[in-house]
Amino acid sequence: MLTSLFPQAHTRYTTLPVLGGSLEGLCAWLVNLGYPLSAVRRRIEGAPLLDKCLQQRDIHSLTGCTATQLRACFPRQKRWTAQIAYSLGRSLMTYLEEQGELTAPPPTPSERLLDAYCHHLGRVRGLAPSRIRLHWSYCAQFLRFLRYDVNVQCLSEVRIGVLEAFLTETANRLGRITMQTVVATLRSFLRFLTLSGIVPAGLDRQLESPRHYRDERFIRALSWDDVISLLNTVNRSTVKGTRDYAMLLLIATYGLRISEVASLQLEDIQWRARVIRVPRPKIGTSLDMPLTDEVATALLEYLRHRKSEESERHVFLRVRVPRGPIQPYAVAEAFYFWSERANVHPPGLGGPHCLRHALAMHLLRQGTSIKTIGDLLGHRNPESTGIYLRLQVQDLHDVALPLPITAVGPEVMA
């Protein structure tokens, strides 16, 4: 591969003291991921600088090197060659991790404690992996606040004042509703530590959750005219445009969550039966819904433009290398991208979730029952559906009683 990329200068790269033996396999790995040869060539051109940086850090072989040591050697300058070397380093680190050639560093005390806690969450409490990752994130912040890796005995000395100091610091960057999750996570972690005999009992009961009043948030639904305007703005002459249009149309038609759009498989679309099976990982079941003509046309238009990859069964793939299925945040990025061009301003917190709210409001105004709307949105509790159906001021105009002006006499005015 190096010989074909650099017919005249391939020995310049194969003879590098540290990286020379890994570049051939790295090139083949990048090509398999879908990188064009020009991009692979540019990355390899940064190998001499990266090799020099490794030697300056006393790394003379990749054998026995950890990801942390390798990452510390990446050049950070803003010059072009340094940027190319940095990109090469990131690709090299991922390649070596997949090949199992990087040495795993010993786990820190925090990592060992969090591993035990997450094992407890999965095996004892049965939490979903996404929820376990959320617990890991907040509890890791708490342990960093305590500097647990420096002093593992600090947990036995934790009292309510330390917990309040952590929550006060965290509240400076998070809202009240998110802080409710932080407090609930910290309570769960403290109960686990109590069962493990690390902290005294009762600390979890001393934490008070921030108050959040039902329906205090403003309406988050886009108007249906804005939804139509957003969909019509998407440029469907490109692969990205056809993909983004299909993703946004799925949310506007079926009220899908962004994770459900990203996880959609080709097997979930039953063309002959005209049924689409929507995965509902949040509730652990799937929902079969009719495949409308508009959605079927949008999906077919995208699949015809999409590069065929027989081994990839996800419907929506990345349009840029490396190839592979999209992540949920890609759906949100597509929504923000086209909302800006359509001059549509999402209310409240914004995000593609407001399309779910818009669909719920649209169906309610068409006379659809709340039970049907809740089933479509994947809700088990009608109160969850009620959050989506908070009426706007314009809806209140229709139920307001006329002011009885004729009943007001001169004596009342006096």
Catalytic residue among 135, 220, 356, 357: 356
Catalytic status, residue 257: yes
Across-strand partners of 289?
Answer: 276
Is the separation of the CB atoms in 30 and 90 below 8 Å?
Answer: no
Cα–Cα distance between 92 and 18 in angstroms, integer?
12
Determine which one of 282, 305, 314, 362 is catalytic.
282
8 Å CB contact between 40 and 31: yes
Whether 217 contacts 226, CB under 8 Å? no
CB 281 within 8 A of CB 263: yes
Annotated catalytic residue, options 257, 313, 345, 397: 257
Q: Which of 43, 236, 353, 357 is catalytic?
A: 353
DSSP string for residues in 214-252: TT-SPP-PPPHHHHHHHHHHS-TTSHHHHHHHHHHHHHH
| Residue 247, beta-bridge partner list | none
Q: How many CB atoms lie within 10 A of CB 104?
A: 9
Joined together, the tokens standing for residue 15 give 């003879």
Alpha-carbon Rg for the chain, nearest whole angstrom, is 28
How far apart are alpha carbons 248 and 255 in whole angstroms? 10
Active site residue 356: yes
Contact by Cβ (8 Å): 2, 27: yes
Cβ count near 351 (within 10 Å): 16
Q: 43, 220, 236, 379: which is the annotated catalytic residue?
A: 379
Q: Determine whether 379 is an active site residue.
A: yes
In whole angstroms, how far apart are CA 145 and each of 179, 274, 334, 360?
16, 54, 36, 42
The one catalytic residue in 13, 117, 302, 388 is: 388
Handedness of CA 110, 328, 284, 362 (dihedral sign): positive
H or E, element range at 209: none
Q: Which residues are catalytic?
A: 257, 282, 353, 356, 379, 388
